[in-house]
């Protein structure tokens, strides 16, 4: 590879923890390539989290842009989707970021003139940064945080829409992938319309067009995990996809200098008792009804399994009834640290891709319960494609809908104690080991080197 000594890479993550964290891990990987300078763009409210997350051993430039004020639909002071009162405000929030374009370009132009900028790696939701990159003659790479399976299937079905005439729970196969069986309910409702329209669709189309004009896609996956989908994408579509993950493996182990948090003390105690723990978390943006939360609580209680449940809402009486066996946490936790804990043997998850990768890398099987966006497709991949987990379905047998406590209880026991759970545990261990190999000098490490070389050489011959 050519020398990195003059390379300057700009990173611009979308304002959401699920997007910031993997891009910070990508930053760590870039900084391991000696001589690369990295500048991260963010907003004032998101800057402290970024500064605290990155090691002081790696000097890094952080540029704080002003988040647009007085956006009618948005509560004042909200600069991250994690703090939105409802995900229905996602599109107004994402569109508001376009108002940062002139400030972004001004700083970017100054950086380019003073030290040069080799390339921009920006979140896919920042489609407008493609215009900025073109204006200043800088290559742009895109990071979405999705896998090749989801990207490929969604693109194929956007072109072949024959499944739209089916009922919501009728099974169909994906053209080119006869083993993949889906239903319309695996997609958010607006994507199942014959003529999809509305602000969300307009936003998706806008960022898709911007992505198609970029120089490449960084994918938080590894080629051995989903070779057929990576090959198909790079054969049929553009821009080229580059697997550089799992990025969570770049996250350093946590060191508790002061007192351990309660959730680590709980896991340590269960480990000392030789008891397995189910970790339960549905991400920071899932909107779950009170009725559904009660059914989850009852199912966990009746399963008699030890559990650690991270949830914002209070579930009346649960903590008292499961004291000593279950712990309910309402504060922020370090999910990677939890999944790496020796006592954690299962993960009831919404199947966001970060969470899925973190669980696989920790060799923890997944009880898949998707909530929104591409999560149902991730759940299909987890249960059907990879076999590293089991799938929760609604009372009516659909992949969407209300799930009763008896289903929760049954599936928790099966994951933690049943034969299907044992098989998933075996498979996830094998795939977790392959993930580590990919990152430790294997396919993903080499791919990132090649990507840096090819993309930066356009700017720095």
Residue with more model confidence, 242 or 33: 242
- Is residue 33 pLDDT above 90, yes or no? no
- The position carrying tokens 């939360």 is 293
pLDDT in tens, 411-437: 999 999 999 999 999 999 999 999 999
- Is residue 333 pLDDT above 50, yes or no? yes
DSSP 251: S
- Is residue 229 pLDDT above 70, yes or no? yes
- Boundaries of every domain in the chain: 8-154+156-250+437-459, 262-433
CA 205, chain centre distance (Å): 21
Residues 315-344, mean pLDDT to the nearest whole number: 91
The H-assigned helical ranges of 160-198 are: none
The CATH number of the structural domain formed by 262-433 is 3.40.50.2000
pLDDT in tens, 246-280: 999 998 877 766 789 999 999 999 999 999 999 99
The mean pLDDT of the chain is: 93
Query: Please, which pLDDT band fits residue 143 given cuts at 50, 70 and 90?
Result: very high
Is-contact 263 308, C-beta < 8 A?
yes
- Is residue 1 pLDDT above 50, yes or no? no
Give the span between the Cα atoms of 284 and 277, in whole angstroms. 21
Query: Please, which pLDDT band fits residue 304 given cuts at 50, 70 and 90?
Result: very high
Q: Name, in order, each residue with C-beta under 8 angstroms of 370's C-beta and a sequence gap of 6 or more.
A: 350, 351, 376, 378, 379, 399
Give the span between the Cα atoms of 218 and 211, in whole angstroms. 11
- Is residue 283 pLDDT above 90, yes or no? no
- Tally of CB atoms within 10 A around 370: 24
pLDDT in tens, 370-383: 998 899 999 999 99
Q: Look up residue 117 and give its two tokens.
A: 């900028």
**Edge-to-edge strand order for the sheet containing 389-391?**
326-329, 306-310, 277-281, 344-349, 366-368, 389-391
Is-contact 64 42, C-beta < 8 A?
yes
Give the span between the Cα atoms of 391 and 424, in whole angstroms. 11
Domains 8-154+156-250+437-459 and 262-433 share a fold: yes
pLDDT in tens, 43-74: 999 999 999 888 666 678 999 999 999 999 99
Is-contact 257 31, C-beta < 8 A?
no
DSSP 72: T
- Is residue 120 pLDDT above 70, yes or no? yes
Q: Which CATH superfamily is domain 8-154+156-250+437-459 in?
A: Glycogen Phosphorylase B; (3.40.50.2000)
Q: What is the pTM of this model?
A: 0.94
DSSP 176: T
pLDDT in tens, 340-361: 999 999 999 999 999 999 999 9
pLDDT at 455: 85
Give the phi and the psi of residue 246 in degrees, each rounded to 5: -70, 125
Helix (H, G, I), strand (E, B) or coil at 80: coil
Q: Look up residue 46 and give its two tokens.
A: 């998101």
Residues 388-392, mean pLDDT to the nearest whole number: 97
Of the candidates 327, 347, 309, 315, the one whose C-alpha atom is nearest the C-alpha of residue 270 is: 327
Residues 213-238, mean pLDDT to the nearest whole number: 97
pLDDT at 458: 57
Query: Please, which pLDDT band fits residue 99 given cuts at 50, 70 and 90?
Result: very high
- Is residue 461 pLDDT above 50, yes or no? no
pLDDT at 2: 45
Going from the C-alpha of 137 to that of each of 119, 214, 226, 361, the distances in angstroms are: 9, 12, 33, 38
Percentage of the chain exceeding pLDDT 90: 83
pLDDT in tens, 156-212: 999 999 999 999 999 999 999 999 999 999 999 888 888 888 999 999 999 999 999
Contacts 24+ apart (CB under 8 A), 413-420: 413/303, 413/305, 414/390, 415/278, 415/346, 415/348, 415/365, 415/367, 415/389, 415/390, 416/276, 416/278, 416/303, 416/305, 416/345, 416/346, 417/305, 420/390
Helix (H, G, I), strand (E, B) or coil at 319: helix
pLDDT at 367: 98
- Is residue 31 pLDDT above 60, yes or no? yes
Give the span between the Cα atoms of 233 and 217, in whole angstroms. 11
Give the span between the Cα atoms of 92 and 446, in whole angstroms. 39
């Amino acid at each position: 590879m050519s020398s990195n000594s003059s390379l300057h890479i700009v990173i611009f993550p979308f304002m959401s923890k699920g997007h910031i964290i993997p891009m910070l891990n990508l930053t760590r990987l870039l900084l391991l390539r000696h001589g690369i300078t990295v500048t991260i763009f963010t907003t004032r409210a998101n800057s402290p989290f970024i500064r605290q997350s990155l090691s002081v051993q790696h000097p890094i430039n952080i540029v704080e842009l002003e988040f647009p004020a007085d956006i009618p639909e948005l509560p004042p002071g909200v600069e991250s989707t994690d703090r939105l009162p409802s995900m229905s405000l996602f599109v107004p929030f994402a569109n508001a970021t376009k108002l940062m374009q002139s400030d972004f370009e001004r700083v970017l132009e100054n950086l380019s003139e003073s030290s040069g900028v080799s390339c921009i790696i920006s979140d896919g939701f920042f489609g407008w940064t493609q215009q900025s990159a073109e204006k200043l003659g800088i290559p742009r790479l895109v990071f979405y945080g999705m896998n090749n399976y989801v990207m490929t299937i969604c693109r194929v079905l956007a072109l072949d829409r024959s499944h739209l005439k089916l009922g919501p729970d009728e099974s169909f196969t994906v053209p080119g992938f006869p083993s993949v069986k889906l239903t319309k309910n695996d997609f958010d409702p607006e994507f199942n319309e014959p003529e999809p329209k509305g602000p969300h669709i307009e936003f998706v189309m806008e960022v898709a067009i911007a992505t198609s004009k970029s120089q490449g896609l960084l994918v938080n996956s590894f080629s051995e995990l989903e070779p057929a989908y990576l090959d198909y994408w790079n054969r049929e579509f553009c821009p080229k996809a580059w697997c550089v993950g799992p990025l969570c493996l770049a996250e350093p182990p946590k060191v508790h200098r002061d007192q351990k948090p309660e959730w680590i003390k709980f896991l340590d105690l269960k480990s000392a008792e030789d008891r397995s723990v189910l970790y339960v978390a549905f991400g920071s943006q899932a909107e779950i009804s009170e009725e559904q939360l009660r059914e989850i609580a009852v199912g966990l209680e009746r399963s008699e399994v030890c559990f650690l449940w991270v949830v914002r809402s209070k579930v009346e009486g649960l903590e008292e009834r499961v004291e000593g066996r279950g712990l309910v946490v309402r504060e922020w936790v370090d999910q990677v640290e939890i999944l790496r804990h020796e006592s954690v043997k299962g993960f009831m998850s919404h199947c966001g891709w970060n969470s899925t990768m973190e669980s696989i890398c920790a060799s923890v099987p997944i009880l898949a319960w998707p909530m929104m966006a591409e999560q149902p497709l991730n759940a299909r991949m987890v249960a059907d494609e990879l076999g590293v987990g089991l799938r929760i379905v609604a009372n009516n047998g659909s992949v969407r809908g209300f799930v009763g406590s008896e289903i929760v209880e049954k599936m928790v026991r099966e994951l933690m104690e049943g034969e299907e759970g044992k098989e998933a545990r075996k498979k996830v261990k094998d795939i977790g080991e392959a993930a580590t190999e990919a990152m430790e000098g294997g396919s993903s490490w080499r791919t990132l080197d090649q990507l840096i070389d090819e993309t930066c050489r356009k700017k720095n011959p």
